[in-house]
């Protein structure tokens, strides 16, 4: 027997959970501010575009979205299992496919910037 690949999956899940636990409250708060009509200076096109053009900003954005997507996908898989859906392989393939799609889209858009 060998250590299952699940250890890699779990590692990404844990990293994504930590990142999203720390960062998403302020992300949601920023979305709330925008929704209320207040667009802070850093979220205007020029500043945000400049941030995402720099390799630091690009990598940060990629890492945050990639890991959070993975975290959400893996947890959703567990949620399906907890809700009594017993087709684990099918669920796993579906959620990870969506996460992979999201990751690809993120990389694609960041590359364009």
Partner 1 sequence: MKLKSRQLELEVLRYDPEKDSEPHFQSYSVSCPEDWAILDALNYVKENLDTTLSYRWSCHMMVCGSCGMMVNGEPSLTCKTFIRDLPDKVRIEPLQNFPIERDLVVVLDDVMEKLQLAQPWIIREDDPPPADEEYTQSRAALYKFKQYTMCINCMCCYAACPQYGLDPKFIGPAALALAHRYNLDSRDQGKSQRLDILADHDGVWDCSFVGACSEVCPKSVDPAAAIQQMKVDGAIEWWKQKLPGGKP
Partner 2 sequence: MSRQPYVRPLPKTSWYLANARYRRYMLREVTCLLVGVYCALLIWALAALSSGSPERWAAFLAAQQNTAMIVFHAAALVYYLVYMTFDWFKLAPKAMPVQLGENKLPGHFIIIGHYLAWVIVTLFVLWLAGVLT
Residues in touch with partner 1 (CB under 8 A) = 1-11, 14, 78, 81-82
The single-letter DSSP state of residue 41 is G
Nearer to partner 1, 58 or 75 (CB): 75
Q: Is 2 helix (H, G, I), strand (E, B) or coil?
A: coil
Least separation, in Å, of the C-beta of 90 and partner 1?
17
The single-letter DSSP state of residue 86 is -
* Chain centroid offset of residue 74 CA: 11
Q: Which does 6 bind (CB under 5 to 8 A by kind): partner 2, partner 1, none?
A: partner 1
CA atoms within a 13 Å half-sphere pointing along the CA-CB vector of 51: 12
CA atoms within a 13 Å half-sphere pointing along the CA-CB vector of 44: 5
Q: Which does 1 bind (CB under 5 to 8 A by kind): partner 1, partner 2, none?
A: partner 1
Q: Which does 110 bind (CB under 5 to 8 A by kind): partner 1, partner 2, none?
A: partner 2
Nearer to partner 2, 34 or 97 (CB): 34
Q: Which two tokens stand for residue 104?
A: 């690809």
Please report whether residue 69 would count as binding partner 2 according to CB under 8 A. Answer: yes
Q: Which two tokens stand for residue 14?
A: 């844990």
Among positions 4-43, residues that touch partner 2 (CB under 8 A) are 14, 16-18, 20-37, 39-43
């Amino acid at each position: 027997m060998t250590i299952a690949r699940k250890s890699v999956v779990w590692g990404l899940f844990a990293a994504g959970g930590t990142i999203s636990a720390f960062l998403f409250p302020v992300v949601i708060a920023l979305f709330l501010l925008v929704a209320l009509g207040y667009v802070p200076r850093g979220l205007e096109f020029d500043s945000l575009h400049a941030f995402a053009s720099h390799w630091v900003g690009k990598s940060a954005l990629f890492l945050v979205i990639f890991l959070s997507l993975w975290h959400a996908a893996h947890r959703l898989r567990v949620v399906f299992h907890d809700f009594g859906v017993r087709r684990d392989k099918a669920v796993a393939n579906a959620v990870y496919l969506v996460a992979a799609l999201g990751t690809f889209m993120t990389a694609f858009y960041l590359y364009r910037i």
